[in-house]
Amino acid sequence: MAEKEICILNDSFPPIIDGVANVVENYAKVLTQHDIPVSVVTPDVPGADDSSFDFPVFRYQSLDLRKQIGYTVGNPFSVPVYYELEKRDIGLLHSHCPMASNILARSLRESLDVPMIMTYHTKYDIDIANAIKGKLLQRAAIEAVVDNVSACDELWVVSRGAGENIRSLGYQGDYIVMENGVDLPKKRADEKTVAEVTAGYDLPAEVPMFLFVGRMMWYKGIRLILDALAALKSHDINFRMVFIGGGADEKEIKTAAADLNLSDRVFFTGPVRERDKLNAWYSRADLFLFPSTFDTNGLVVREAAASSLGTVLIKDSAAAEGVTNRKNGLLVEENAASLAVCLASVMNNRDFMRQLGQNAADDLYLSWDDAVMRAEERYLIVMDNYACGRYPRRTAAAESLMAFRNNLLDFWDRLTRKPLEE
């Protein structure tokens, strides 16, 4: 690949951890391992230490709203970062967020004269609805997302479901499905490690254990899981359930589990960052439960597959793409009764669940190395298309950027004063 630098932009990056931050970090790591120059551009986080990365990280001015929304909100018009990036031999801009990152990328494209890709990861309309209560503000934010996505030279999506989501919001262009990989090796953890990691929890070997990994948010389908488990318990069916993760709804979810009289069978570990420990939890479980219709890719489904663990998913959801019912996963309707019936029908057949997991490993697992190698090949095509004039030339109109800047400053002011309202 040409020695031009790939500049990756995203609104989150460690020490702020979420699924897209994990994607960006892995893209940068693999590209660096392949001797391709890469840099990451992201909002500043107080106390961030980027010295452990083998690639440069450029941070720009931000407002620290971690207590309010869990993130810092970047100012894409911060001048110093422009000066730093304009000195570099950048050949392509790859944004992973249609907010501040895309605004910054659009401006840089104009000054650097390089192509701009964006990967659309999640259903931003749902994120916007959760963050902003006023309908007019929600509508304006969605229009801004569609405008930013439409401004890219090429749109990548992590699944067909993600592509159809952005189309449903008004996007009219084409897209390419570019799946994400996972950074777990394709193997099961050894019994000693599993025993050490899961010690302290009441997990009898003979009792089927289910697992959920992800943000503790109701829209992940967690209410459906709890109601299904309550139905199993009402029929004297024994099981164990472990939730791994943290999030804004964690306290409510724990209270709901207690109210359903599930505290003796349902356990919450909090976030688990260490990959070997996460591998051990996946290896200990009999089934992974991920009844989310919010997620557009379901990275955790592939993580489970890395440990030969099969997943129960909602039929026709984006996370279930590539899954064949009763071959490499289980598909249910989006209701607790369907999930409960599914679990009751297979949970005592461990040979079937093990075969399900093995098929998932064979069919669904995708390493980050393989995923990024495909992206590398596409980078070359995009840069060639841009050089040959195959993309329409787009400019970041000054009046458009100024309007966005004014809206952003107003948005910051609202966030610092009170919850967003119309």
pLDDT per position as a tens digit, 23-62: 999 999 999 999 999 999 999 999 999 999 999 999 999 9
pLDDT value of residue 310: 98
What is the band of 299 on the pLDDT scale with cuts at 50, 70, 90? confident
Whole-angstrom distance, CA of residue 58 vs CA of residue 10: 11
Domain 5-181+369-417 fold: Rossmann fold (3.40.50)
Q: Mean pLDDT score of the chain, rounded to an integer?
A: 91
Q: What is the mean pLDDT of residues 369-378?
A: 97
Domain borders along the chain are 5-181+369-417, 191-365
Return the higher-pLDDT residue of 52 and 123. 52
Q: Give the CA radius of gyration of the chain.
A: 22
Q: What is the mean pLDDT of residues 361-384?
A: 96
Query: Hey, is 301 helix, strand or coil?
Result: helix
Main-chain dihedrals φ then ψ at residue 402, nearest 5 degrees? -65, -40
Same fold, 5-181+369-417 and 191-365: yes
What is the band of 398 on the pLDDT scale with cuts at 50, 70, 90? very low
Main-chain dihedrals φ then ψ at residue 61, nearest 5 degrees? -50, 140
Residue 413 has pLDDT above 90, yes or no: no
pLDDT value of residue 404: 53
What is the band of 410 on the pLDDT scale with cuts at 50, 70, 90? low
Residue 250 identity (one-letter amino acid):
E
What is the band of 422 on the pLDDT scale with cuts at 50, 70, 90? very low
* Residue 158: how many other CB atoms lie within 10 Å: 26
Cα dihedral 364, 370, 375, 380, rounded to 10, equals -150
Q: Which CATH number fits domain 191-365: 1.10.3720.10, 3.90.1150.10, 3.40.50.2000, 3.60.15.10?
A: 3.40.50.2000
pTM score: 0.83
